[in-house]
């Protein structure tokens, strides 16, 4: 069972990251992304919705700039750089996860959309979370199969993912190329720790999710 859980976690956490290496991450206008996604689904934004969302996203950009300015100030204070590194794994983009500035923006966007648009938006967000992998993808998957994380367990897992990401960055170093053997060892240690932080029901849910995915692929 442990091996099956290990494989499921590896696919959930690491394969999305590997797939992103060849992707084009050019910056795009977030409003344009929302508009294109909704238009393709047949529920485009009205002119009034576009105007409101543009205001929300401008507020988001200002908030990020202010947050960046404060972090730079903290970096110049004693211990500020360490606190900044500790929080590094909690950052969210314009389409980030729950909590923080990104989470607040998500709720504002939902308040502007219609019921049909919200359904499309939620599906899109979940696809993005799965594509990026990591802790958000793990949490989403467990929620979808009815085995959600408790607040305490989620906090422990977030800490583990932050520490893993920090160690991974250290391995990559300035050359942007990690020793494959050391990276594999780090990934194995990380997966083992994640498995231990899940309860029996959540481990079973991981296995069932993988079996379901394999069954859909064979259809």
User: Concatenated DSSP letters for the chain?
Assistant: -HHHHHHHHHHHHTHHHHHHTTS------HHHHHHHHHHHTT-PPPHHHHHHHHHHHHHHHHHHHHHHHHHHHHHTSTTHHHHHHHTGGG---TT--SSHHHHHHHHHHHHHS-HHHHHHHHHHHHHHHHHH-HHHHHHHHHHHTT-PPPHHHHHHHHHHHHHHHHHHHHHHTTTT---HHHHHHHHHHHHHHHHHHS-HHHHHHHHHHHHHHHHHHH-
Counting beta carbons within 10 angstroms of the beta carbon of residue 196, is it exposed (0 to 12), middle (13 to 18) or buried (19 or more)? exposed
Tokens representing 37? 């996604």
Nearest to 43 by CA among 122, 121, 107: 121
Q: What percentage of residues in the chain have a pLDDT greater than 90?
A: 24
pLDDT digits (tens, 9 = 90+) for 210-219: 666 555 555 5
Q: Residue 19 above 50 pLDDT?
A: no
Nearest to 160 by CA among 199, 129, 134: 134
Domain boundaries, the chain: 2-218
pLDDT digits (tens, 9 = 90+) for 125-141: 898 888 888 899 899 98
pLDDT digits (tens, 9 = 90+) for 153-191: 999 999 999 999 898 888 877 556 667 888 888 888 888
Task: Calculate the average pLDDT of the chain.
Answer: 76
Counting beta carbons within 10 angstroms of the beta carbon of residue 45, is it exposed (0 to 12), middle (13 to 18) or buried (19 or more)? buried
Distance CA 146, CA 124 (A): 20
Q: Residue 72 above 50 pLDDT?
A: yes
Nearest to 116 by CA among 35, 36, 41, 47: 41
Q: What is the pLDDT of residue 21?
A: 45
* pTM for the predicted model, two decimal places: 0.65
Q: What is the pLDDT of residue 118?
A: 94
Q: Residue 7 above 70 pLDDT?
A: no
How does residue 9 score in pLDDT terms, banded at 50, 70 and 90?
A: low
Q: Residue 18 above 60 pLDDT?
A: no
Q: What is the pLDDT of residue 86?
A: 43
- pLDDT higher at 180 or 150: 150
């Amino acid at each position: 069972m442990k091996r099956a859980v290990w494989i499921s976690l590896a696919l959930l956490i690491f394969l999305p990251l590997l797939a992103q290496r060849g992707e084009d991450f050019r910056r795009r206008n977030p409003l344009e992304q929302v508009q294109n996604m909704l238009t393709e689904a047949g529920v485009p934004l009205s002119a009034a919705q576009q105007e409101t969302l543009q205001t929300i996203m401008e507020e988001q950009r200002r908030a990020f700039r202010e947050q960046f300015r404060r972090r730079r100030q903290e970096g110049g204070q004693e211990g500020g750089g360490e606190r900044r590194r500790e929080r590094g794994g909690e950052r969210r983009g314009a389409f980030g996860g729950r909590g923080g500035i990104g989470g607040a923006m998500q709720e504002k966007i939902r308040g502007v959309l219609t019921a049909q648009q919200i359904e499309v938006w939620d599906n899109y967000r979940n696809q993005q979370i799965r594509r990026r992998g990591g802790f958000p993808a793990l949490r989403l998957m467990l929620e979808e199969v009815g085995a959600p994380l408790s607040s305490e367990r989620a906090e422990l897992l977030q800490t583990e993912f932050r520490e893993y990401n920090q160690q991974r960055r250290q391995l990559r170093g300035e050359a942007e190329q990690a020793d494959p053997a050391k990276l594999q060892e780090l990934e194995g240690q990380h997966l083992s720790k994640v498995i231990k932080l899940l309860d029996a029901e959540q481990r079973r849910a991981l296995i069932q999710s993988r079996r379901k995915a394999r069954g859909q692929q064979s259809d």
